[in-house]
Structure 1
Protein backbone atom coordinates (compact mmCIF):
# COMPACT_ATOMS: atom_id res chain seq x y z
CA UNK A 1 0.00 0.00 0.00
CA UNK A 2 1.45 3.35 -1.02
CA UNK A 3 1.15 5.94 1.75
CA UNK A 4 1.87 9.55 0.70
CA UNK A 5 3.94 11.68 3.06
CA UNK A 6 3.89 15.44 2.63
CA UNK A 7 7.36 15.79 4.16
CA UNK A 8 9.02 13.57 1.53
CA UNK A 9 9.99 15.09 -1.82
CA UNK A 10 8.07 13.36 -4.61
CA UNK A 11 8.62 14.20 -8.30
CA UNK A 12 5.76 14.92 -10.68
CA UNK A 13 3.60 11.82 -11.47
CA UNK A 14 4.67 11.98 -15.14
CA UNK A 15 8.37 11.73 -14.24
CA UNK A 16 9.93 8.77 -16.07
CA UNK A 17 11.77 6.22 -13.94
CA UNK A 18 13.84 3.15 -14.81
CA UNK A 19 14.95 -0.07 -13.19
CA UNK A 20 17.90 -1.92 -14.76
CA UNK A 21 18.16 -5.62 -13.93
CA UNK A 22 19.24 -9.00 -15.25
CA UNK A 23 16.89 -11.58 -16.77
CA UNK A 24 16.68 -13.77 -13.66
CA UNK A 25 15.53 -10.88 -11.46
CA UNK A 26 13.07 -9.76 -14.13
CA UNK A 27 11.55 -13.24 -14.36
CA UNK A 28 11.33 -13.43 -10.58
CA UNK A 29 9.34 -10.18 -10.63
CA UNK A 30 6.93 -11.53 -13.26
CA UNK A 31 6.53 -15.02 -11.76
CA UNK A 32 5.99 -13.84 -8.18
CA UNK A 33 4.22 -10.59 -9.08
CA UNK A 34 6.17 -9.15 -6.20
CA UNK A 35 8.79 -6.43 -6.01
CA UNK A 36 12.00 -7.23 -4.14
CA UNK A 37 13.06 -4.60 -1.59
CA UNK A 38 16.61 -4.79 -0.22
CA UNK A 39 17.50 -4.40 3.44
CA UNK A 40 19.00 -0.92 3.69
CA UNK A 41 22.20 -1.92 5.47
CA UNK A 42 23.02 -4.43 2.73
CA UNK A 43 23.74 -1.76 0.13
CA UNK A 44 27.33 -1.20 -0.97
CA UNK A 45 27.35 2.35 0.40
CA UNK A 46 28.28 2.10 4.09
CA UNK A 47 26.63 5.47 4.75
CA UNK A 48 23.23 4.12 3.71
CA UNK A 49 20.59 5.13 6.27
CA UNK A 50 23.08 7.03 8.43
CA UNK A 51 23.22 10.73 9.31
CA UNK A 52 25.46 13.60 8.28
CA UNK A 53 28.00 15.00 10.75
CA UNK A 54 25.89 18.04 11.83
CA UNK A 55 22.91 15.78 12.53
CA UNK A 56 25.03 13.22 14.36
CA UNK A 57 26.41 15.92 16.66
CA UNK A 58 22.87 16.96 17.57
CA UNK A 59 21.85 13.33 18.17
CA UNK A 60 24.82 12.87 20.49
CA UNK A 61 23.74 15.87 22.54
CA UNK A 62 20.20 14.56 22.77
CA UNK A 63 21.43 11.12 23.83
CA UNK A 64 23.47 12.35 26.81
CA UNK A 65 20.61 11.70 29.26
CA UNK A 66 18.73 9.18 27.11
CA UNK A 67 20.48 5.78 27.18
CA UNK A 68 19.78 3.76 24.07
CA UNK A 69 18.78 6.79 21.99
CA UNK A 70 21.59 6.28 19.45
CA UNK A 71 21.17 2.50 19.50
CA UNK A 72 17.68 2.90 18.01
CA UNK A 73 19.11 4.57 14.89
CA UNK A 74 21.91 2.02 14.59
CA UNK A 75 19.47 -0.90 14.71
CA UNK A 76 16.80 0.80 12.63
CA UNK A 77 18.65 0.24 9.34
CA UNK A 78 18.13 -3.54 9.41
CA UNK A 79 14.32 -3.02 9.55
CA UNK A 80 14.07 -0.66 6.57
CA UNK A 81 13.83 -2.03 3.03
CA UNK A 82 14.30 -0.16 -0.23
CA UNK A 83 13.56 -0.53 -3.95
CA UNK A 84 15.75 1.82 -6.00
CA UNK A 85 14.78 3.40 -9.34
CA UNK A 86 16.56 5.84 -11.66
CA UNK A 87 14.99 9.13 -12.77
CA UNK A 88 15.75 9.97 -16.39
CA UNK A 89 13.83 11.03 -19.46
CA UNK A 90 16.10 8.77 -21.52
CA UNK A 91 18.09 5.57 -21.14
CA UNK A 92 21.32 5.79 -19.19
CA UNK A 93 24.48 4.19 -20.57
CA UNK A 94 26.00 4.30 -17.08
CA UNK A 95 23.06 2.42 -15.54
CA UNK A 96 23.30 -0.33 -18.18
CA UNK A 97 27.00 -0.70 -17.30
CA UNK A 98 26.47 -0.78 -13.54
CA UNK A 99 23.39 -2.95 -13.13
CA UNK A 100 23.50 -5.47 -15.99
CA UNK A 101 26.02 -8.10 -17.02
CA UNK A 102 26.82 -10.27 -20.04
CA UNK A 103 24.83 -8.06 -22.44
CA UNK A 104 21.64 -9.78 -21.33
CA UNK A 105 20.00 -7.23 -19.06
CA UNK A 106 16.70 -5.42 -19.33
CA UNK A 107 15.35 -2.06 -18.28
CA UNK A 108 11.83 -1.46 -16.98
CA UNK A 109 10.42 1.95 -17.88
CA UNK A 110 7.69 3.36 -15.65
CA UNK A 111 6.56 6.68 -14.16
CA UNK A 112 6.11 7.96 -10.63
CA UNK A 113 2.33 7.94 -11.18
CA UNK A 114 2.29 4.33 -12.39
CA UNK A 115 4.47 3.33 -9.45
CA UNK A 116 2.01 4.93 -7.01
CA UNK A 117 -0.91 3.12 -8.61
CA UNK A 118 0.95 -0.20 -8.67
CA UNK A 119 1.53 -0.04 -4.91
CA UNK A 120 -2.12 0.64 -4.05
CA UNK A 121 -3.31 -3.00 -3.83
CA UNK A 122 -3.59 -4.28 -0.26
CA UNK A 123 -0.26 -5.42 1.10
CA UNK A 124 1.28 -6.06 4.49
CA UNK A 125 3.73 -3.20 4.22
CA UNK A 126 3.20 0.55 4.01
CA UNK A 127 5.47 2.00 1.35
CA UNK A 128 6.59 5.57 0.81
CA UNK A 129 8.05 6.96 -2.42
CA UNK A 130 10.65 9.71 -2.25
CA UNK A 131 13.42 11.25 -4.35
CA UNK A 132 16.92 11.08 -2.92
CA UNK A 133 18.66 14.35 -2.04
CA UNK A 134 22.44 14.44 -2.51
CA UNK A 135 24.29 16.47 0.11
CA UNK A 136 27.66 17.18 1.71
CA UNK A 137 27.66 14.90 4.78
CA UNK A 138 30.32 17.04 6.48
CA UNK A 139 28.34 20.28 6.27
CA UNK A 140 24.65 19.71 5.58
CA UNK A 141 21.93 18.70 8.01
CA UNK A 142 19.59 15.69 7.69
CA UNK A 143 16.36 16.11 9.68
CA UNK A 144 15.39 13.19 11.90
CA UNK A 145 11.77 14.02 12.75
CA UNK A 146 10.75 11.45 10.11
CA UNK A 147 12.14 7.91 10.31
CA UNK A 148 12.42 7.74 6.50
CA UNK A 149 14.66 10.80 6.09
CA UNK A 150 18.04 9.04 6.62
CA UNK A 151 17.16 6.75 3.70
CA UNK A 152 16.38 9.62 1.33
CA UNK A 153 19.75 11.34 1.55
CA UNK A 154 23.05 10.27 0.03
CA UNK A 155 26.49 11.76 -0.47
CA UNK A 156 27.10 14.00 -3.49
CA UNK A 157 29.41 11.34 -4.94
CA UNK A 158 26.27 9.37 -5.87
CA UNK A 159 24.47 12.16 -7.75
CA UNK A 160 24.81 10.24 -11.02
CA UNK A 161 22.27 7.71 -9.67
CA UNK A 162 19.41 10.28 -9.77
CA UNK A 163 17.55 7.93 -7.50
CA UNK A 164 13.93 7.69 -6.41
CA UNK A 165 13.07 5.08 -3.81
CA UNK A 166 10.23 3.00 -2.53
CA UNK A 167 10.89 2.69 1.20
CA UNK A 168 9.18 0.60 3.89
CA UNK A 169 9.85 0.44 7.64
CA UNK A 170 9.10 -3.09 8.88
CA UNK A 171 9.96 -2.51 12.55
CA UNK A 172 6.41 -3.11 13.75
CA UNK A 173 6.21 -6.43 11.89
CA UNK A 174 8.93 -8.04 14.04
CA UNK A 175 10.46 -9.79 11.04
CA UNK A 176 13.85 -11.39 10.77
CA UNK A 177 14.97 -9.89 7.46
CA UNK A 178 17.86 -11.52 5.65
CA UNK A 179 18.67 -9.81 2.33
CA UNK A 180 15.27 -8.16 1.95
CA UNK A 181 11.54 -8.84 1.42
CA UNK A 182 9.11 -9.16 -1.46
CA UNK A 183 6.00 -7.01 -1.54
CA UNK A 184 2.88 -7.33 -3.70
CA UNK A 185 2.69 -5.04 -6.70
CA UNK A 186 0.43 -4.66 -9.76
CA UNK A 187 2.92 -5.67 -12.46
CA UNK A 188 0.80 -4.49 -15.39
CA UNK A 189 0.40 -1.09 -13.80
CA UNK A 190 4.04 -0.79 -12.81
CA UNK A 191 5.63 -1.64 -16.16
CA UNK A 192 5.02 0.69 -19.08
CA UNK A 193 7.69 -0.60 -21.44
CA UNK A 194 10.63 -3.02 -21.53
CA UNK A 195 13.99 -2.19 -23.10
CA UNK A 196 16.48 -4.88 -24.13
CA UNK A 197 20.21 -4.47 -23.44
CA UNK A 198 21.88 -2.39 -26.20
CA UNK A 199 24.54 -5.05 -26.89
CA UNK A 200 22.23 -8.07 -26.82
CA UNK A 201 21.73 -10.38 -29.79
CA UNK A 202 18.41 -10.72 -31.65
CA UNK A 203 17.83 -14.19 -30.18
CA UNK A 204 17.79 -12.64 -26.72
CA UNK A 205 14.99 -10.24 -27.61
CA UNK A 206 13.00 -13.13 -29.12
CA UNK A 207 13.57 -15.15 -25.95
CA UNK A 208 12.28 -12.33 -23.72
CA UNK A 209 9.20 -11.90 -25.92
CA UNK A 210 8.49 -15.65 -25.84
CA UNK A 211 8.87 -15.83 -22.06
CA UNK A 212 6.48 -12.93 -21.52
CA UNK A 213 3.90 -14.42 -23.86
CA UNK A 214 4.04 -17.75 -22.00
CA UNK A 215 3.55 -15.91 -18.70
CA UNK A 216 0.57 -13.98 -20.06
CA UNK A 217 2.10 -10.51 -20.26
CA UNK A 218 1.89 -8.18 -23.25
CA UNK A 219 4.34 -5.38 -22.51
CA UNK A 220 5.77 -3.26 -25.29
CA UNK A 221 9.37 -4.34 -25.88
CA UNK A 222 12.05 -2.27 -27.58
CA UNK A 223 15.74 -2.75 -28.26
CA UNK A 224 17.85 -0.06 -26.62
CA UNK A 225 18.48 3.02 -28.80
CA UNK A 226 22.09 3.23 -27.62
CA UNK A 227 23.29 0.79 -30.31
CA UNK A 228 21.20 2.07 -33.24
CA UNK A 229 22.81 2.38 -36.66
CA UNK A 230 24.84 5.53 -37.30
CA UNK A 231 23.61 7.79 -40.10
CA UNK A 232 26.92 8.44 -41.84
Structure 2
Protein backbone atom coordinates (compact mmCIF):
# COMPACT_ATOMS: atom_id res chain seq x y z
CA UNK A 1 0.00 0.00 0.00
CA UNK A 2 1.31 3.45 -0.94
CA UNK A 3 1.54 6.50 1.28
CA UNK A 4 -1.13 9.18 1.78
CA UNK A 5 0.00 12.66 2.74
CA UNK A 6 -2.50 15.43 3.53
CA UNK A 7 -0.84 18.84 3.59
CA UNK A 8 -3.98 20.87 4.31
CA UNK A 9 -6.39 20.66 7.27
CA UNK A 10 -8.67 17.64 6.96
CA UNK A 11 -11.74 19.81 7.60
CA UNK A 12 -10.99 22.08 4.62
CA UNK A 13 -14.21 22.45 2.63
CA UNK A 14 -13.69 21.79 -1.08
CA UNK A 15 -15.95 21.92 -4.13
CA UNK A 16 -15.94 20.30 -7.53
CA UNK A 17 -18.09 21.41 -10.48
CA UNK A 18 -19.37 18.66 -12.79
CA UNK A 19 -21.70 18.29 -15.73
CA UNK A 20 -24.67 16.10 -14.85
CA UNK A 21 -23.28 13.44 -17.18
CA UNK A 22 -20.01 13.25 -15.24
CA UNK A 23 -21.82 13.47 -11.91
CA UNK A 24 -24.08 10.58 -12.89
CA UNK A 25 -21.03 8.55 -13.90
CA UNK A 26 -19.39 9.25 -10.52
CA UNK A 27 -22.50 8.07 -8.65
CA UNK A 28 -23.15 4.96 -10.72
CA UNK A 29 -19.50 3.85 -10.84
CA UNK A 30 -18.78 4.97 -7.26
CA UNK A 31 -15.36 6.12 -8.36
CA UNK A 32 -13.34 9.32 -8.63
CA UNK A 33 -11.66 10.10 -11.95
CA UNK A 34 -7.97 11.11 -11.96
CA UNK A 35 -6.65 12.70 -15.16
CA UNK A 36 -3.08 12.43 -16.41
CA UNK A 37 -1.06 15.63 -16.15
CA UNK A 38 -0.08 15.61 -19.81
CA UNK A 39 -3.78 15.68 -20.78
CA UNK A 40 -4.40 19.02 -19.03
CA UNK A 41 -5.04 22.23 -20.94
CA UNK A 42 -2.16 24.01 -19.18
CA UNK A 43 0.95 23.00 -21.17
CA UNK A 44 3.15 24.17 -18.27
CA UNK A 45 1.56 21.59 -15.95
CA UNK A 46 4.17 19.49 -14.18
CA UNK A 47 7.07 21.40 -15.70
CA UNK A 48 9.90 23.30 -14.05
CA UNK A 49 10.92 26.93 -14.25
CA UNK A 50 13.64 28.01 -16.67
CA UNK A 51 16.01 28.92 -13.86
CA UNK A 52 15.83 25.37 -12.46
CA UNK A 53 16.74 23.55 -15.67
CA UNK A 54 20.36 23.00 -14.59
CA UNK A 55 19.14 21.22 -11.43
CA UNK A 56 17.57 18.48 -13.56
CA UNK A 57 19.61 18.26 -16.75
CA UNK A 58 23.31 18.57 -17.59
CA UNK A 59 22.75 18.82 -21.34
CA UNK A 60 24.59 22.13 -21.43
CA UNK A 61 27.61 20.50 -19.79
CA UNK A 62 27.49 17.73 -22.39
CA UNK A 63 27.55 20.30 -25.20
CA UNK A 64 30.46 22.04 -23.52
CA UNK A 65 32.36 18.76 -23.15
CA UNK A 66 31.74 17.89 -26.80
CA UNK A 67 33.22 21.23 -27.84
CA UNK A 68 36.27 20.66 -25.66
CA UNK A 69 36.81 17.20 -27.17
CA UNK A 70 36.71 18.59 -30.68
CA UNK A 71 40.06 17.89 -32.36
CA UNK A 72 42.48 20.78 -31.97
CA UNK A 73 45.56 21.80 -33.93
CA UNK A 74 47.92 21.33 -31.00
CA UNK A 75 47.93 18.06 -29.01
CA UNK A 76 46.41 18.08 -25.51
CA UNK A 77 48.58 17.75 -22.48
CA UNK A 78 48.08 14.84 -20.09
CA UNK A 79 46.64 17.29 -17.58
CA UNK A 80 44.04 18.52 -20.08
CA UNK A 81 43.13 14.95 -21.01
CA UNK A 82 42.65 14.02 -17.34
CA UNK A 83 40.46 17.09 -16.80
CA UNK A 84 38.24 16.08 -19.72
CA UNK A 85 37.94 12.52 -18.39
CA UNK A 86 36.98 13.88 -14.96
CA UNK A 87 34.31 16.11 -16.52
CA UNK A 88 32.95 13.16 -18.48
CA UNK A 89 32.75 11.00 -15.35
CA UNK A 90 30.91 13.74 -13.45
CA UNK A 91 28.41 14.13 -16.27
CA UNK A 92 27.61 10.42 -16.23
CA UNK A 93 27.46 10.22 -12.42
CA UNK A 94 25.53 13.41 -11.56
CA UNK A 95 22.06 12.69 -10.21
CA UNK A 96 19.03 14.55 -8.89
CA UNK A 97 16.23 13.48 -6.51
CA UNK A 98 12.80 13.10 -8.09
CA UNK A 99 9.29 12.01 -7.24
CA UNK A 100 10.14 8.67 -8.85
CA UNK A 101 13.46 8.20 -7.12
CA UNK A 102 17.01 9.25 -7.92
CA UNK A 103 17.59 10.02 -11.61
CA UNK A 104 20.68 10.71 -13.69
CA UNK A 105 21.05 14.28 -14.95
CA UNK A 106 22.16 12.66 -18.20
CA UNK A 107 18.51 11.56 -18.53
CA UNK A 108 17.14 14.90 -17.32
CA UNK A 109 15.68 16.00 -20.65
CA UNK A 110 13.85 12.67 -21.01
CA UNK A 111 12.58 13.05 -17.44
CA UNK A 112 11.23 16.56 -18.11
CA UNK A 113 9.58 15.34 -21.29
CA UNK A 114 7.89 12.28 -19.79
CA UNK A 115 7.29 12.80 -16.06
CA UNK A 116 3.85 14.38 -16.58
CA UNK A 117 2.61 11.18 -18.20
CA UNK A 118 3.13 9.31 -14.89
CA UNK A 119 1.22 11.72 -12.65
CA UNK A 120 -2.56 11.89 -12.13
CA UNK A 121 -4.70 14.54 -10.49
CA UNK A 122 -8.22 15.10 -9.27
CA UNK A 123 -8.82 18.81 -8.79
CA UNK A 124 -11.05 20.72 -6.36
CA UNK A 125 -11.43 24.33 -5.25
CA UNK A 126 -11.51 25.65 -1.70
CA UNK A 127 -13.34 28.87 -2.62
CA UNK A 128 -15.86 29.45 0.14
CA UNK A 129 -18.47 30.71 -2.31
CA UNK A 130 -19.87 29.61 -5.64
CA UNK A 131 -18.00 30.80 -8.72
CA UNK A 132 -19.81 31.79 -11.90
CA UNK A 133 -16.69 31.09 -13.96
CA UNK A 134 -16.48 27.55 -12.54
CA UNK A 135 -20.07 26.84 -13.54
CA UNK A 136 -19.29 27.93 -17.11
CA UNK A 137 -15.90 26.22 -17.40
CA UNK A 138 -16.50 22.90 -15.69
CA UNK A 139 -20.26 22.49 -15.71
CA UNK A 140 -20.65 21.83 -19.44
CA UNK A 141 -20.55 18.48 -21.19
CA UNK A 142 -16.97 19.01 -22.30
CA UNK A 143 -15.13 21.08 -19.71
CA UNK A 144 -13.64 24.21 -21.30
CA UNK A 145 -15.56 23.72 -24.56
CA UNK A 146 -13.41 24.31 -27.63
CA UNK A 147 -16.23 23.73 -30.10
CA UNK A 148 -17.54 26.34 -32.50
CA UNK A 149 -19.21 29.41 -31.05
CA UNK A 150 -22.80 28.58 -30.18
CA UNK A 151 -22.05 24.87 -29.80
CA UNK A 152 -25.43 23.19 -29.37
CA UNK A 153 -24.02 20.26 -27.39
CA UNK A 154 -22.62 22.54 -24.71
CA UNK A 155 -25.54 24.96 -24.80
CA UNK A 156 -27.82 22.10 -23.80
CA UNK A 157 -25.73 21.36 -20.72
CA UNK A 158 -25.71 24.93 -19.33
CA UNK A 159 -27.81 24.89 -16.18
CA UNK A 160 -27.63 21.10 -16.13
CA UNK A 161 -24.65 20.61 -13.84
CA UNK A 162 -23.88 20.31 -10.13
CA UNK A 163 -21.27 21.31 -7.61
CA UNK A 164 -20.41 18.70 -5.00
CA UNK A 165 -19.18 19.93 -1.65
CA UNK A 166 -17.23 17.90 0.88
CA UNK A 167 -14.01 18.05 2.93
CA UNK A 168 -10.46 16.96 2.19
CA UNK A 169 -10.68 14.42 5.01
CA UNK A 170 -13.92 12.91 3.71
CA UNK A 171 -12.36 12.38 0.29
CA UNK A 172 -9.25 10.70 1.71
CA UNK A 173 -11.29 8.50 4.06
CA UNK A 174 -13.43 7.23 1.19
CA UNK A 175 -10.78 6.63 -1.47
CA UNK A 176 -9.52 3.13 -2.09
CA UNK A 177 -5.88 3.71 -2.96
CA UNK A 178 -4.64 1.25 -5.62
CA UNK A 179 -1.70 -0.97 -4.80
CA UNK A 180 1.64 0.62 -5.59
CA UNK A 181 0.45 4.24 -5.71
CA UNK A 182 1.00 7.28 -3.47
CA UNK A 183 -1.41 10.15 -2.87
CA UNK A 184 -0.60 13.71 -1.79
CA UNK A 185 -3.12 16.49 -1.14
CA UNK A 186 -1.86 20.05 -1.26
CA UNK A 187 -2.92 23.57 -2.21
CA UNK A 188 -1.75 24.66 -5.63
CA UNK A 189 0.42 27.78 -5.82
CA UNK A 190 0.27 30.09 -8.83
CA UNK A 191 3.58 31.28 -10.25
CA UNK A 192 5.26 33.07 -13.12
CA UNK A 193 7.25 30.31 -14.80
CA UNK A 194 9.54 32.86 -16.47
CA UNK A 195 10.83 34.49 -13.29
CA UNK A 196 10.23 32.15 -10.35
CA UNK A 197 12.88 29.85 -8.93
CA UNK A 198 12.55 26.73 -6.77
CA UNK A 199 15.06 25.76 -4.16
CA UNK A 200 16.77 22.53 -5.20
CA UNK A 201 15.17 20.69 -2.26
CA UNK A 202 11.69 21.68 -3.51
CA UNK A 203 12.03 20.12 -6.95
CA UNK A 204 10.82 16.69 -5.85
CA UNK A 205 7.21 17.82 -5.31
CA UNK A 206 6.68 21.56 -5.69
CA UNK A 207 6.53 21.74 -9.51
CA UNK A 208 3.53 19.39 -9.52
CA UNK A 209 1.57 21.66 -7.20
CA UNK A 210 2.34 24.83 -9.15
CA UNK A 211 0.36 26.36 -11.99
CA UNK A 212 0.63 29.39 -14.22
CA UNK A 213 -0.73 32.65 -12.79
CA UNK A 214 -3.38 32.65 -15.51
CA UNK A 215 -5.30 29.95 -13.61
CA UNK A 216 -5.22 31.59 -10.17
CA UNK A 217 -9.01 32.09 -10.16
CA UNK A 218 -9.36 28.32 -9.56
CA UNK A 219 -7.98 28.30 -5.99
CA UNK A 220 -7.16 24.66 -6.60
CA UNK A 221 -6.71 21.93 -4.04
CA UNK A 222 -4.98 19.05 -5.83
CA UNK A 223 -5.17 15.33 -5.09
CA UNK A 224 -2.14 13.91 -6.88
CA UNK A 225 -1.63 10.19 -7.52
CA UNK A 226 1.56 8.62 -8.78
CA UNK A 227 3.26 5.18 -8.85
CA UNK A 228 5.85 4.41 -6.20
CA UNK A 229 7.70 2.07 -8.57
CA UNK A 230 11.42 2.56 -9.20
CA UNK A 231 11.24 0.56 -12.43
CA UNK A 232 10.25 3.53 -14.59
CA UNK A 233 13.12 4.46 -16.88
CA UNK A 234 13.91 7.87 -18.35
CA UNK A 235 16.56 7.51 -21.02
CA UNK A 236 18.57 10.05 -23.02
CA UNK A 237 18.62 7.47 -25.79
CA UNK A 238 15.82 7.93 -28.30
CA UNK A 239 12.62 5.95 -27.61
CA UNK A 240 14.09 4.03 -24.66
CA UNK A 241 12.09 5.75 -21.89
CA UNK A 242 9.36 3.66 -20.25
CA UNK A 243 5.96 4.47 -21.74
CA UNK A 244 2.81 4.78 -19.62
CA UNK A 245 -0.26 3.38 -21.39
CA UNK A 246 -2.69 4.11 -18.55
CA UNK A 247 -4.59 7.23 -19.66
CA UNK A 248 -6.39 7.77 -16.36
CA UNK A 249 -7.02 6.29 -12.94
CA UNK A 250 -10.44 5.68 -11.40
CA UNK A 251 -10.33 5.21 -7.65
CA UNK A 252 -13.22 3.43 -5.98
CA UNK A 253 -15.21 5.26 -3.29
CA UNK A 254 -16.26 3.41 -0.15
CA UNK A 255 -19.37 5.37 0.90
CA UNK A 256 -20.95 8.11 -1.20
CA UNK A 257 -23.16 9.28 1.67
CA UNK A 258 -20.12 10.29 3.69
CA UNK A 259 -18.08 11.29 0.64
CA UNK A 260 -20.52 14.00 -0.54
CA UNK A 261 -21.77 16.45 2.09
CA UNK A 262 -23.91 18.61 -0.19
CA UNK A 263 -24.90 18.98 -3.85
CA UNK A 264 -25.50 22.46 -5.22
CA UNK A 265 -27.67 22.73 -8.34
CA UNK A 266 -26.49 24.90 -11.21
CA UNK A 267 -28.34 28.17 -11.78
CA UNK A 268 -30.46 28.36 -14.95
CA UNK A 269 -28.77 29.73 -18.09
CA UNK A 270 -28.48 33.56 -18.07
CA UNK A 271 -30.91 33.86 -20.99
CA UNK A 272 -33.53 31.89 -19.07
CA UNK A 273 -33.00 33.96 -15.92
CA UNK A 274 -33.50 37.17 -17.92
CA UNK A 275 -36.63 35.87 -19.64
CA UNK A 276 -38.13 34.51 -16.41
CA UNK A 277 -37.45 37.75 -14.56
CA UNK A 278 -38.98 39.87 -17.34
CA UNK A 279 -42.15 37.78 -17.53
CA UNK A 280 -42.47 37.69 -13.75
CA UNK A 281 -42.15 41.47 -13.40
CA UNK A 282 -44.58 42.03 -16.26
CA UNK A 283 -47.13 39.81 -14.55
CA UNK A 284 -46.69 40.71 -10.88
CA UNK A 285 -44.81 44.01 -10.78
CA UNK A 286 -42.59 42.69 -7.95
CA UNK A 287 -39.80 40.16 -7.62
CA UNK A 288 -41.62 38.44 -4.77
CA UNK A 289 -41.72 34.73 -5.64
CA UNK A 290 -39.11 35.10 -8.38
CA UNK A 291 -36.48 33.00 -6.57
CA UNK A 292 -38.85 30.06 -6.56
CA UNK A 293 -39.42 30.43 -10.30
CA UNK A 294 -35.66 30.53 -10.88
CA UNK A 295 -35.05 27.33 -8.91
CA UNK A 296 -33.69 24.49 -11.03
CA UNK A 297 -36.62 22.12 -10.46
CA UNK A 298 -35.96 19.84 -13.44
CA UNK A 299 -32.36 19.27 -12.41
CA UNK A 300 -33.37 18.71 -8.80
CA UNK A 301 -35.83 16.02 -9.92
CA UNK A 302 -33.06 14.25 -11.88
CA UNK A 303 -30.62 14.39 -8.96
CA UNK A 304 -33.26 13.12 -6.51
CA UNK A 305 -34.09 10.21 -8.84
CA UNK A 306 -30.39 9.37 -9.14
CA UNK A 307 -30.03 9.41 -5.36
CA UNK A 308 -33.09 7.19 -4.83
CA UNK A 309 -31.80 4.65 -7.34
CA UNK A 310 -28.50 4.45 -5.45
CA UNK A 311 -29.86 4.62 -1.88
CA UNK A 312 -28.25 7.98 -1.16
CA UNK A 313 -29.40 10.56 1.34
CA UNK A 314 -27.47 13.73 0.47
CA UNK A 315 -28.50 17.34 0.98
CA UNK A 316 -29.47 19.18 -2.24
CA UNK A 317 -29.52 23.00 -2.37
CA UNK A 318 -30.21 25.65 -4.98
CA UNK A 319 -27.47 27.87 -6.35
CA UNK A 320 -26.83 31.10 -4.48
CA UNK A 321 -26.71 32.79 -7.88
CA UNK A 322 -30.51 32.82 -8.13
CA UNK A 323 -30.87 35.13 -5.13
CA UNK A 324 -32.66 38.45 -5.76
CA UNK A 325 -31.96 41.90 -4.42
CA UNK A 326 -34.74 43.81 -2.63
CA UNK A 327 -36.65 46.11 -4.94
CA UNK A 328 -39.63 46.82 -2.71
CA UNK A 329 -40.98 46.08 0.75
CA UNK A 330 -42.33 42.71 -0.42
CA UNK A 331 -38.84 41.36 -1.20
CA UNK A 332 -37.14 42.29 2.08
CA UNK A 333 -37.77 38.91 3.75
Evaluate the alpha carbon distance shift between residue 225 and residue 33 of structure 1 in structure 2; reply closer, same or farther with a 3 A threshold: same
**Alignment TM-score, normalising by the size of structure 2:** 0.62
1:182 aligned to 2:250?
yes
**Alignment TM-score, normalising by the size of structure 1:** 0.88
Evaluate the alpha carbon distance shift between residue 143 and residue 62 of structure 1 in structure 2; reply closer, same or farther with a 3 A threshold: farther
Q: Contact 1:117/1:189 (CA < 8 Å) preserved in 2? A: no
- Structure with higher Rg: it is 2
Deviates more, 1:77-86 or 1:90-99: 90-99
**Corresponding pairs, count:** 226
Q: 1:52 offset after TM fit, Å? A: 0.9
The DSSP-based 3-state class of the residue aligned with 2:268 is coil
Deviations 1:63-85 (A, max 9, x none): 84242122123211111110010
Q: Contact 1:142/1:153 (CA < 8 Å) preserved in 2? A: no
> How do 1:128-139 and structure 2 match up within 5 A?
128-139=184-195
Question: Which residues of structure 2 form unaligned runs of 5+?
Answer: 62-90, 92-104, 141-157, 233-243, 270-295, 328-333
Give the structure with the higher percent helix: 2
The DSSP-based 3-state class of the residue aligned with 2:305 is helix
Provide the rounded CA distance (Å) in 1 between the counterparts of 2:177 and 2:228.
19
1:229 pairs with one of 324, 328, 332:
324
1:93 aligned to 2:132?
yes
The DSSP-based 3-state class of the residue aligned with 1:229 is coil
Match of 1:209 in 2: 304
RCO comparison, higher one (Cα < 8 Å, 6+): 1
Match of 1:192 in 2: 261
Match of 1:68 in 2: 107
Provide the rounded CA distance (Å) in 1 between the counterparts of 2:168 and 2:40.
23
1:16 aligned to 2:19?
no
Question: Which residues of structure 1 form unaligned runs of 5+?
Answer: none
Provide the rounded CA distance (Å) in 2 between the counterparts of 1:24 and 1:144.
43
Provide the rounded CA distance (Å) in 2 between the counterparts of 1:132 and 1:57.
24
Q: Contact 1:15/1:89 (CA < 8 Å) preserved in 2? A: no
Q: 1:209 offset after TM fit, Å? A: 0.7
Give the structure with the higher percent strand: 1
Match of 1:51 in 2: 48
| CA RMSD across the alignment | 2.3
1:4 aligned to 2:5?
yes
Match of 2:291 in 1: none
Evaluate the alpha carbon distance shift between residue 216 and residue 63 of structure 1 in structure 2; reply closer, same or farther with a 3 A threshold: farther
1:154 aligned to 2:211?
yes
Evaluate the alpha carbon distance shift between residue 37 and residue 122 of structure 1 in structure 2; reply closer, same or farther with a 3 A threshold: closer
Match of 2:81 in 1: none
Match of 2:72 in 1: none
Q: 1:143 offset after TM fit, Å? A: 4.8
Q: 1:59 offset after TM fit, Å? A: 2.5
Provide the rounded CA distance (Å) in 2 between the counterparts of 1:54 and 1:182.
35
